[in-house]
């Protein structure tokens, strides 16, 4: 019995030590991306605000599926939590048309050749989409998600984002 308890204790300690570390938000805030009018915007302007940062592409079906939830979430938390969309796109004009068609009313940027390297620097090593980071007002990534963000995901992290205020 003592051996069993010792083994279980070691497994628990090992499990705690391999908990996933969150990436630094520094690469995001160091980036300058183009807005939908093809004008450069330094993302450090969003530092100090709770953020939901969503990487997407026009050709990505799951990315399109989560846009209505992101719009709804932003409306629910207007002025308290900001949603940013970062399109893995080469040109602003098609991204602008896409954002208009999907009624994306949050700030949207075009990553051009910086998109995949930026995602990789933010711990999305395979560059999969959609990819979302949740960043508190202190600039700490408190959660990340590779795959479709659902209402339950957003609700679960909202309180943590708001607590940082």
Give the tens place of pLDDT for each residue, 62-97: 999 999 999 999 999 999 999 999 999 999 999 999
CA distance 106 to 1: 58
Position 153 scores a pLDDT of 97
Residue 17 forms part of a structural domain? no
Given this model, what pLDDT does residue 4 score? 40
In the chain, the number of structural domains is 1
- Asked whether 108 and 82 are in contact (CB, 8 A), the reply is no
Does the residue 112 lie in any domain?
Answer: yes
Residue 90 located in a structural domain: yes
Q: What residue numbers bound the domain in which 79 lies? A: 23-163
Within 10 Å of residue 68's Cβ, how many Cβ atoms?
13
**Binning pLDDT at 50, 70 and 90, where does residue 3 land?**
low
Q: Within a domain: residue 4?
A: no
Would strands 51-56 and 131-135 be described as parallel, antiparallel, or unpaired? antiparallel
Assess if residue 10 is contained within a domain. Answer: no
pLDDT in tens, 94-122: 999 999 999 999 999 999 999 999 999 99
What pLDDT does residue 58 have?
97
- Residue 2 burial by CB count (10 A; 0-12/13-18/19+): exposed, middle or buried? exposed
**9-29: average pLDDT:** 66
Q: Quick check: is 153 in a domain?
A: yes
**Domain for residue 2, yes or no?**
no
Q: How confident is the model at residue 15 (pLDDT cuts 50, 70, 90)?
A: very low
Question: What is the CATH number for 99?
Answer: 3.40.30.10
Give the integer Cα–Cα distance in Å for 58 and 72: 20
């Amino acid at each position: 019995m003592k051996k069993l308890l010792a083994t279980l204790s070691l497994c628990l300690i090992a499990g705690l030590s391999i908990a996933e570390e969150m990436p630094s938000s520094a690469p995001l805030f160091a980036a300058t991306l183009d807005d939908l009018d093809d004008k450069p915007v330094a993302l450090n302007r969003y530092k100090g605000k709770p953020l939901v940062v969503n990487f997407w592409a026009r050709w990505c079906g799951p990315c399109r599926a989560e846009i209505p939830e992101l719009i709804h979430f932003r409306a629910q938390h207007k002025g308290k939590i900001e949603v940013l969309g970062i399109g893995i796109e080469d040109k602003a004009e098609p991204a602008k048309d896409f954002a208009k068609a999907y009624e994306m009313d949050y700030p949207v940027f075009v990553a051009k050749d910086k998109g995949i390297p930026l995602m990789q620097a933010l711990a999305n090593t395979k560059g999969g989409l959609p990819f979302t980071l949740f960043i508190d007002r202190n600039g700490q990534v408190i959660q990340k998600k590779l795959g479709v963000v659902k209402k339950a995901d957003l609700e679960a992290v909202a309180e943590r984002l708001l607590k940082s205020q």
